[in-house]
């Protein structure tokens, strides 16, 4: 979004509050009608997309000056993009992009990111990960019996969260690829944070450094495909890297890869996983991973005040996110009973961790996770699964804090379980699940 | 202008920490609303979308909290203004000596009485939320044209609330039953059967004793100018068809299976005289779920989800006086009967249904019609829209009003400040099977273009004068001192009575009257 589009759009919010709800025609109950974790937590209208658009306008008009109060309101948002899906059912505003740009403007004025987020960013610059962990320990997740093929044309980009915090997801992913005899390699110590935490909190300049560091390293390796088990890294490469610098490899999420492997009979799911399972769509794998379609048309004024775009400008409404691949996977697991949550696919409710919220406002992240866990419980599921280590962390926190009987497993873990592998990790996982 | 710390503390003690905010960011956000720029300009102010900035915003969660907060407002001479879902300039404070009561935390559906066909709701239950819950009982609720995201409580107590389904679900002002109402002095008033000493319940809106419904809301509601409504019972209706409502696919191209017993008719009546005959005749038969006159531009809009797709519907744009009717039924027998009546009327009136021949809408249209989402399509062309004039009357007067306004509108279209809808932009719906009608002269303008804003405001002002000169009645949005003082002397001096009511119920003039009327002594 350029400055002209931004300045036009911030004048056009109707204050209709559509951004607070899932698309109106999809509302199935009073309880799960909401889409915005921020307004659900803080209640004042300012904490909605419409409110933040008003803040952007008030800043441009000089009615408001940047301040700590303003910064807090702008940063208490998970940037899940649910608002944008709801708004764009009929309107042409881009609420999420406005919020992203508003954060970038605040950073340029010295009001952002939040102190905790700044610590994470410092750690990325210093240690190449946001968790203040030594870079040399990045590979500690990797068991010795995992086969890595240095000549492989596929790279598994592990990501910081799976490398340091949710190692089980990285291990399960690698084991599934091994089971399918699918050759892959990893960047070992040349893998750096994808930069998503920097970008989402408004520091685009520093983000571009991460883009260049990672792409330089990948391009050295003659890679054809990069596979991600982290929805955040996947989205950042697919959408945000592509907007900053061209690259010549294909990006795949593991849910897509595993489906391909099953459909080409390279993976066989034999073992029953007899549980009721529901699936949480990560925002970064679902609605926000939809590509920006290039538009190279003209704006034609049909009459005073009414213009149209020729050809019609594509609306990014979340339709082309990755929704079916994870569902197909779950449905292929023998004995597994897949149950959908009320808010799903492009209007799924956020887990609460994104946009820097988990670090800066942990209570907000936790409350949102518990809301999502309650929705999962209401389906009657025993397991909630997802395809993102960051969602995994926050949803697990939600389960623990709520004292829920639900259990969380990443989709890669459920696939591994269904393969019936007999290695130590798989046996441990099997015991844990059963 | 912020609150003194000690006063803020007293308010905070009522609602708890985190439920009141007097910071400049939160308060400035509450100063913004759609069309505020128009109303500012009409009041001689700068045409910007910000009103006065409130001193603070408070989030009560119970009626008792509302009562205590109002008493504090009286104690310190601070005005209050309540809002729920908050769409429109009517939610804005008229002075910076004002606290906004955002009713968002009062969001319960208190009761659904499926036998007696009513539901009791709090202010922040949205229309879509209420509808989806009553659909579980095979029932429906009325929703205003503003859309399913707005509050039925606000619409029924404080606005007027016509909607696309008005022929079968009435309108908000007529659907309100018993209410719980905190008066401007903090007294809790229970109106209707909820006020009975023995066995209070919500099923009736009048009595005991003289009905106060007219005082409570009158024609167009008080917009929080006479206290705050904390609970309300609204009428429910049978859902017009089966409730197996399932929208699949992805936004914005959702898929929907059109209910078996549902049929859309769009006929070009050619002129207003024939339109009047047709709409009265169809409504006399009491068969429609929806029955509206929509100008050609509006017909194009309800089937579109972008400006490009709107302007693509030339076949619809050629119609002179389109009549849009949706019939729905729960049984084949009922559906056959309704279709038979429509066939008979079409033949008799020499009208042709263009649906299925000249135009076939996407199935999602039917889902949106059932969920009252069609009004929001009006914002597609320019991003903003407002109704210049209109009101409730007979079909004849409503259509005369639209016809008389057309030459005036064309002048402003020629200036390029409003969108060219051939001067005919209007929506007219029957109320309650044609007993009377609602008309709004929809006008599209650009809220980011100063000349469009001021042009639209001038056009609205001239439309009001035209209504007076031509004896077309009070417009839809007759509110605030300026409008009441303009129309009152021509309409039995109602404004004098309205002022007396305000003075009696709000002796300290604490309930913000910006969109109601100020007391006599001011």
pLDDT one-digit tens code per residue, B475-497: 888 899 999 999 999 999 999 99
* Angle, in degrees to the nearest 10, between helices B63-76 and B5-15: 160
- Quick check: B445 contacting A, CB < 8 Å? yes
Query: What is the Rg, in whole angstroms, of the alpha carbon atoms belonging to chain B?
Result: 23
Instruction: Please name the helix (run of DSSP H) or strand (run of DSSP E) that holds residue A302, with its range, or none.
Output: strand A298-303
Q: Quick check: A312 and B306 CB within 8 A?
A: yes
Four-residue CA torsion sign, A233, A236, A239, A241: negative
Q: Quick check: B87 and A14 CB within 8 A?
A: yes
- Quick check: A309 contacting B, CB < 8 Å? yes
Q: Quick check: B251 and A61 CB within 8 A?
A: no
Q: Which structure tokens are listed for B501?
A: 């009511």
Share of chain B above pLDDT 90, in %: 86
Please spell the DSSP secondary structure of B451-514, one letter per residue.
HHHHHHHHHHHHHHHHHHHTT----TT--HHHHHHHHGGGTTTHHHHHHHHHHHH-TT--B--T
Question: What single-letter DSSP state applies at residue A197?
Answer: H
Segment among A270-274, B2-6, B336-340, B348-352 with least mean pLDDT = B2-6
Mean pLDDT of B406-420: 96
Burial class (CB in 10 A: 0-12, 13-18, 19+), A351: buried
| Interface list for B 276-335 with A (CB within 8 A) | 305-309, 311
Instruction: Give the pLDDT means over successive 10-residue stretches in chain A (434 positions).
Output: 94 97 97 98 98 98 98 98 95 95 98 97 97 96 96 98 97 98 95 98 96 96 96 98 97 98 97 97 98 91 91 92 98 98 98 98 98 98 98 98 98 97 88 87
User: Is residue B406 over pLDDT 90?
Assistant: yes
Question: What single-letter DSSP state applies at residue B54?
Answer: P
Q: Quick check: B129 and A51 CB within 8 A?
A: no
What residues of chain B lie within 8 A of the CB of A312, using their CB? 306, 308-309
β-pairing, B247-250 vs B228-238, is: unpaired
Decide if A36 contacts B167 (C-beta within 8 A).
no
Q: Cα A272 from chain centroid?
A: 29
Q: Which structure tokens are listed for B332?
A: 């084949």
Mean pLDDT of B436-452: 94
Distance from CA of B373 to the nearest CA of A (A): 8
- Residue B477's pLDDT is what? 82
Q: Quick check: B149 and A18 CB within 8 A?
A: yes
What residues of chain B lie within 8 A of the CB of A56, using their CB? none
Q: What is the largest CA-CA distance in chain B?
A: 74
Selection from B9, B20, B98, B107 nearest residue B57 by Cα: B20
Name the residue facing B21 among A8, A21, A44 (closest C-beta). A44
Neighbours of A294 (CB within 10 A): 7
Give the 3-state DSSP-derived string for B405-469, with helices as H, strands as E and coil as C: HHHHHHHHHHCCCCCCCCCCCCEEEEECCCCEEEEEEEEEECCCCHHHHHHHHHHHHHHHHHHHH
How far is it, in rounded angstroms, from Cα B3 to Cα B49?
24
Structure ipTM: 0.97
Q: Quick check: B25 and A64 CB within 8 A?
A: yes
Mean pLDDT of B70-96: 97
Q: How far is CA B211 from CA B233, B347, B495, in A?
A: 16, 46, 20
Residue B522 binned pLDDT confidence (cut-offs 50, 70, 90):
very low
Decide if A341 contacts A375 (C-beta within 8 A).
yes
Chain A residue with the nearest C-alpha to that of B61: A43
Distance from CA of B9 to the nearest CA of A (A): 18
How far is it, in rounded angstroms, from Cα A349 to Cα A34?
8
- Tens digits of residue pLDDT in B110-139: 999 999 999 999 999 999 999 999 999 999
Mean pLDDT of B214-240: 95
- Quick check: B30 contacting A, CB < 8 Å? yes
Query: What is the Rg, in whole angstroms, of the alpha carbon atoms belonging to chain A?
Result: 21
Full strand arrangement of the beta sheet holding A407-410: A337-339, A276-279, A383-386, A407-410
Q: Quick check: B311 and A306 CB within 8 A?
A: yes
Percent composition of chain B: helix, strand, coil (DSSP 3-state, to 5): 40, 20, 40
Name the residue facing A24 among B30, B149, B418 (closest C-beta). B149
| Interface list for B 178-217 with A (CB within 8 A) | none
Q: Write b or e for each residue in B449-474: b if 16 or more Cβ atoms lie within 10 A of its Cβ, otherwise e.
A: beebbbbbbbbbebbbebbbeeebbb
Chain B residue with the nearest C-alpha to that of A345: B250
Distance from CA of B369 to the nearest CA of A (A): 10
Burial class (CB in 10 A: 0-12, 13-18, 19+), B246: exposed
- Quick check: A433 contacting B, CB < 8 Å? no
- Quick check: B337 contacting A, CB < 8 Å? no
Selection from B79, B313, B319, B349 nearest residue A308 by Cα: B313
Selection from A81, A389, A383 nearest residue A231 by Cα: A389
How far is it, in rounded angstroms, from Cα A177 to Cα A388?
17
Full strand arrangement of the beta sheet holding B384-393: B262-268, B322-328, B290-294, B427-431, B436-445, B384-393
| Residue to test with chain B: of A44, A94, A348, most B Cβ within 10 A | A44
| Interface list for A 169-208 with B (CB within 8 A) | none
Q: How far is CA B86 from CA A38, A425, B69, B332, in A?
A: 17, 54, 20, 41
Q: Quick check: B25 and A346 CB within 8 A?
A: no
Decide if A280 contacts A372 (C-beta within 8 A).
yes
Chain B residue with the nearest C-alpha to that of A82: B251
Q: Which structure tokens are listed for B383?
A: 């991003």
How far is it, in rounded angstroms, from Cα A81 to Cα A71?
19
How far is it, in rounded angstroms, from Cα B449 to Cα A399?
50
- Quick check: A347 contacting B, CB < 8 Å? yes
Distance from CA of B299 to the nearest CA of A (A): 16
- Quick check: A292 contacting B, CB < 8 Å? no
Please spell the DSSP secondary structure of A146-186, one letter per residue.
----TT-SEEEE--HIIIII-HHHHHHHHHHHHHTT---B-
Decide if B128 contacts A27 (C-beta within 8 A).
yes
Full strand arrangement of the beta sheet holding B56-58: B20-21, B56-58, B98-102, B79-83
What residues of chain B lie within 8 A of the CB of A319, using their CB? 250-251, 253
Q: For chain B, how far is it from start to end, CA to CA, in angstroms?
A: 23
- Quick check: A297 contacting B, CB < 8 Å? no
| Interface list for B 68-97 with A (CB within 8 A) | 85-88
Q: Write b or e for each residue in A191-226: b if 16 or more Cβ atoms lie within 10 A of its Cβ, otherwise e.
A: bbbbbbbbbbbbbbebbbebbebbbebbeebebeeb
Q: Where in chain A is the domain with CATH 3.40.50?
A: 120-267
Q: Write b or e for each residue in B187-212: b if 16 or more Cβ atoms lie within 10 A of its Cβ, otherwise e.
A: eebebbbbbeeeeebbbbbeeeeeeb
Q: What is the mean pLDDT of chain B?
A: 95
Q: Quick check: A55 and B29 CB within 8 A?
A: yes
Interface A-B, measured as beta-carbon pairs within 8 A, has a size of: 186
Please list the residues that pair with B386 across neighbouring strands: B443
What residues of chain A lie within 8 A of the CB of B86, using their CB? 15, 17, 45
Chain A residue with the nearest C-alpha to that of B50: A58
- Tens digits of residue pLDDT in B352-396: 999 999 999 999 999 999 999 999 998 988 889 999 888 889 999
Q: Quick check: B377 and A11 CB within 8 A?
A: no
Percent composition of chain A: helix, strand, coil (DSSP 3-state, to 5): 50, 10, 40
User: Is residue B1 over pLDDT 70?
Assistant: no
Higher pLDDT, B183 or B2: B183
How far is it, in rounded angstroms, from Cα B506 to Cα B520?
11
Q: Quick check: B448 and A11 CB within 8 A?
A: yes
How far is it, in rounded angstroms, from Cα B465 to Cα B389?
10
3-class secondary structure, B351 = coil
Distance from CA of A57 to the nearest CA of B (A): 10
- Quick check: B28 contacting A, CB < 8 Å? yes
- Residue B160's pLDDT is what? 87
Name the residue facing A14 among B26, B379, B381 (closest C-beta). B379
- Quick check: A89 contacting B, CB < 8 Å? yes
Distance from CA of B128 to the nearest CA of A (A): 7
Architecture of domain A120-267: 3-Layer(aba) Sandwich (3.40)
Q: Which structure tokens are listed for B115?
A: 């036998």
Please list the residues that pair with A157 across neighbouring strands: A228
How far is it, in rounded angstroms, from Cα A142 to Cα A33?
42
Q: Write b or e for each residue in A240-273: b if 16 or more Cβ atoms lie within 10 A of its Cβ, otherwise e.
A: bbeebeebebebbbbbbbbbebbeeeebebebeb
- Quick check: A66 contacting B, CB < 8 Å? no
């Amino acid at each position: 979004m350029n400055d002209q589009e931004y300045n036009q759009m911030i004048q056009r919010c109707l204050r209709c509050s559509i951004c607070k709800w899932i698309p109106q025609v999809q509302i199935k109950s009073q309880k799960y009608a909401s889409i915005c974790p921020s307004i659900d937590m803080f209640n004042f209208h300012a904490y909605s997309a419409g409110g933040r658009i008003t803040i952007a306008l008030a800043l441009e008009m000089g009615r408001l000056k940047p301040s700590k109060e303003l910064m807090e309101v702008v940063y208490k948002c998970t940037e899940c993009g649910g608002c944008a899906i709801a708004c764009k059912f009929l309107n042409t505003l881009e609420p999420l992009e406005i919020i992203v740009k508003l954060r970038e403007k605040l950073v340029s004025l010295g009001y952002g990111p939040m102190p905790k987020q700044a610590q994470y960013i410092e750690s990325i610059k210093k240690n190449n990960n946001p968790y203040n962990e030594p870079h040399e320990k990045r590979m500690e997740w990797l068991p010795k019996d995992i086969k890595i093929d240095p000549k492989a044309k596929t790279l598994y980009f592990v990501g910081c969260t799976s490398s340091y915090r949710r190692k089980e997801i990285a291990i399960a992913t690698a084991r599934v690829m091994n089971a399918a005899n699918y050759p892959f390699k990893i960047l070992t110590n040349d893998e750096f944070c994808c930069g998503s935490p920097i970008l989402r909190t408004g520091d685009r300049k520093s983000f571009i450094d991460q883009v260049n560091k990672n792409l330089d390293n990948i391009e050295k390796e003659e890679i054809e495909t990069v596979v991600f088990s982290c929805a955040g890294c996947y989205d950042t490469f697919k959408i945000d890297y592509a907007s900053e610098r061209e690259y010549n490899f294909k990006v795949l999420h593991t849910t897509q890869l595993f489906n391909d492997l099953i459909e080409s009979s390279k993976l066989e799911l034999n073992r029953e996983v007899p549980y009721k399972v529901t699936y949480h769509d990560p925002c970064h794998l679902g609605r926000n991973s939809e590509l920006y379609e290039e538009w190279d048309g003209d704006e034609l004024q049909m009459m005073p005040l009414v213009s149209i775009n020729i050809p019609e400008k594509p609306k990014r409404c979340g339709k082309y996110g990755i929704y079916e691949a994870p569902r197909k996977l779950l449905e292929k697991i023998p004995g597994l009973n897949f149950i959908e949550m009320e808010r799903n696919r492009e209007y799924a409710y956020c887990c609460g961790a994104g946009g820097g919220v988990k670090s800066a406002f942990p209570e907000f992240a936790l409350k949102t996770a518990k809301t999502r866990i309650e929705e999962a419980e209401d389906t009657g599921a025993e397991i909630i699964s997802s395809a993102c280590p960051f969602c995994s962390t926050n949803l697990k926190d939600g389960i623990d804090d709520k004292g829920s009987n639900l259990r969380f497993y990443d989709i890669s873990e459920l696939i591994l379980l269904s393969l019936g592998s007999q290695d130590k990790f798989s046996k441990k996982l099997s015991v844990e699940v059963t | 202008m912020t609150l003194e710390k000690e006063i803020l503390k007293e308010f905070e003690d009522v609602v708890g920490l985190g439920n009141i905010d007097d910071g400049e960011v939160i308060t400035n956000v509450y100063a913004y609303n759609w069309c505020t720029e128009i109303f500012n300009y009409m009041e001689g102010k700068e045409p910007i979308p910000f009103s006065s900035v409130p001193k603070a915003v408070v989030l009560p969660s119970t009626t008792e909290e509302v009562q205590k907060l109002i008493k504090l407002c009286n104690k310190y001479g601070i005005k209050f203004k309540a809002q729920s879902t908050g769409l429109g300039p009517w939610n804005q404070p008229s002075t910076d000596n004002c606290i906004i009561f955002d009713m968002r935390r009062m969001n319960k559906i208190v009761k659904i009485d499926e036998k007696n066909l009513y539901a009791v709701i709090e202010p922040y239950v949205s229309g879509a939320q209420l509808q989806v819950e009553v659909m579980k009982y095979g029932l429906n609720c009325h929703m205003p044209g503003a859309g399913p995201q707005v509050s039925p409580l606000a619409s029924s107590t404080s606005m007027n609330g016509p909607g696309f389904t008005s022929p079968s679900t009435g309108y908000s002002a007529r659907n309100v039953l018993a209410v719980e109402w905190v008066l401007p002095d903090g007294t809790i008033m229970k109106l209707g059967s909820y006020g009975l000493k023995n066995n209070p319940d919500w099923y009736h809106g009048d009595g005991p004793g003289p009905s106060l419904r007219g005082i409570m809301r009158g024609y167009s509601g008080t917009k929080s100018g006479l206290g705050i409504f904390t609970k309300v019972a609204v009428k429910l209706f049978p859902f017009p068809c089966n409730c197996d409502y399932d929208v699949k696919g992805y936004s914005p191209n959702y898929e929907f299976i059109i209910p078996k017993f549902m049929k859309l008719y769009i006929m070009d009546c050619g002129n207003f005289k024939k339109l009047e005959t047709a709409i009265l005749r169809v409504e006399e038969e009491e068969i429609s779920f929806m029955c509206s006159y929509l100008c050609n531009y509006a017909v194009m809009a309800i089937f579109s989800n972008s400006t490009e797709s709107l302007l693509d519907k030339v076949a619809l744009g050629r119609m002179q006086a389109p009549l849009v009717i949706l019939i729905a039924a729960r049984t084949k027998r009922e559906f056959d009967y309704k279709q038979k009546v429509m066939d008979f009327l079409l033949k008799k009136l020499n009208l042709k249904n263009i649906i299925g021949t000249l135009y076939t809408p996407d199935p999602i249209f039917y889902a949106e019609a059932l969920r009252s989402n069609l009004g929001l399509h009006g914002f597609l062309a320019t991003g903003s829209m407002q109704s210049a004039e209109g009101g409730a009357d007979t079909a004849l007067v409503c259509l005369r009003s639209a016809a008389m306004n057309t030459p005036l509108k064309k002048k402003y279209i020629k200036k390029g400040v409003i969108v060219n809808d051939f001067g005919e932009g209007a929506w007219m719906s029957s109320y309650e099977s044609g007993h009377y009608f609602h008309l709004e002269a929809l006008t599209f303008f650009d809220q980011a273009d100063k000349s469009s804003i001021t042009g639209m405001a001038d056009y609205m002002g001239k439309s009001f004068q035209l209504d007076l000169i031509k004896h077309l009645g009070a417009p839809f949005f007759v509110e605030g001192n300026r409008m009441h003082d303009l129309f009152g002397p021509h309409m039995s001096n109602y404004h004098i009575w309205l002022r007396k009511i305000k003075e009696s119920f709000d002796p300290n003039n604490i309930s913000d009257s910006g969109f109601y009327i100020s007391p006599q002594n001011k």
